[in-house]
Amino acid sequence: MLKGKCAIVTGASRGIGKAIALKLASLGANIVINYRSNEKEALEVESQIKDMGVETLCVKGDISKAEEALKLIASAKEKFGSIDIMVNNAGITKDTLILRMKEEDFDSVIDVNLKGVFNCLKAITPIMVKQKYGKIINLSSVVGISGNAGQVNYSASKAGVIGMTKSLAKEVGSRGINVNAVAPGYIETDMTEALSEKYKEEMKNNIPLKRLGTANDVAEVVAFLASESSNYVTGQVIQVDGGMLM
């Protein structure tokens, strides 16, 4: 399905990013694993991907810094020649009510979640325009649509990703490049593991499918957007939330 394609996944050492990297590899794509600090986990993902019989490359880099985003893209281009799929997944949270939120808490979340996506898009777009082909998938969140108490910074960053996705889709659609966003709801990851069981049950009761999502649920939708099956889909935000936000 993706045999011979090259896919970059930022924040691929764990959670949703790891699931996406493994899913795309299982479909035959060569994977560039980006991580910021979790080298041990990144190398474990690399080993799992190699076992699937595809090529992989690990690149350490903080994509909130333009020069490191450029290095990531350049390293992928040097090894694989072309870059067919770009998955902007890397993100952080620093949740608290605005009355307690420090300026650095706001800035750091915006820097990684929004500026980091911009840096990667800025670096990848010239390559895909020259190729006249590319699949860009940006990870947003349902809170970028609905907002959420205690997440002014995170919600702002994810809403910004949606605006950036739609704008870039209009800019590069004529060049054979699809740009879409995926907005997960409550997904079982390291971030949600800390939530109390009572809170999780309350969340499940508010979700029509009556369960929290999994990283694989998100990876399946990303795989669709990375494939030829989505060739006439661009500028869209696909919610993977079990019907929580309608």
Among 35, 133, 154, 199, the one annotated catalytic: 154
Q: 155 among the known binding-site residues?
A: yes
Q: 82 among the known binding-site residues?
A: no
Q: 227 among the known binding-site residues?
A: no
Tokens 């880099």 map to which residue?
61
Q: 12 among the known binding-site residues?
A: yes
Q: 154 among the known binding-site residues?
A: yes
Q: 229 among the known binding-site residues?
A: no
Q: 89 among the known binding-site residues?
A: yes
Q: What is the 3-state secondary structure (H, E, C) of the chain?
A: CCCCCEEEECCCCCHHHHHHHHHHHHCCCEEEEEECCCHHHHHHHHHHHHCCCCCEEEEECCCCCHHHHHHHHHHHHHHHCCCCEEEECCCCCCCCCCCCCCHHHHHHHHHHHHHHHHHHHHHHHHHHHHHCCEEEEEECCCHHHHCCCCCHHHHHHHHHHHHHHHHHHHHHHHHCEEEEEEEECCEECHHHHCCCHHHHHHHHHCCCCCCCEEHHHHHHHHHHHHCHHHCCCCCCEEEECCCCCC
Q: 13 among the known binding-site residues?
A: yes
Q: 74 among the known binding-site residues?
A: no
Spell out the residues 6+ positions from residue 140 whose beta carbon is closer than 8 angstroms to its own: 158, 159, 161, 162, 165, 181, 182, 183, 237
- Which residue, among 71, 73, 88, 80, has the nearest Cα to 10 in the 3D structure? 88
Residue 154 annotated in active site: yes
Q: 215 among the known binding-site residues?
A: no
Residues designated catalytic? 154
Residue ranges of the binding site: 11-14, 89, 154-158, 187
Residue ranges of the binding site for NADP(+): 11-14, 89, 154-158, 187
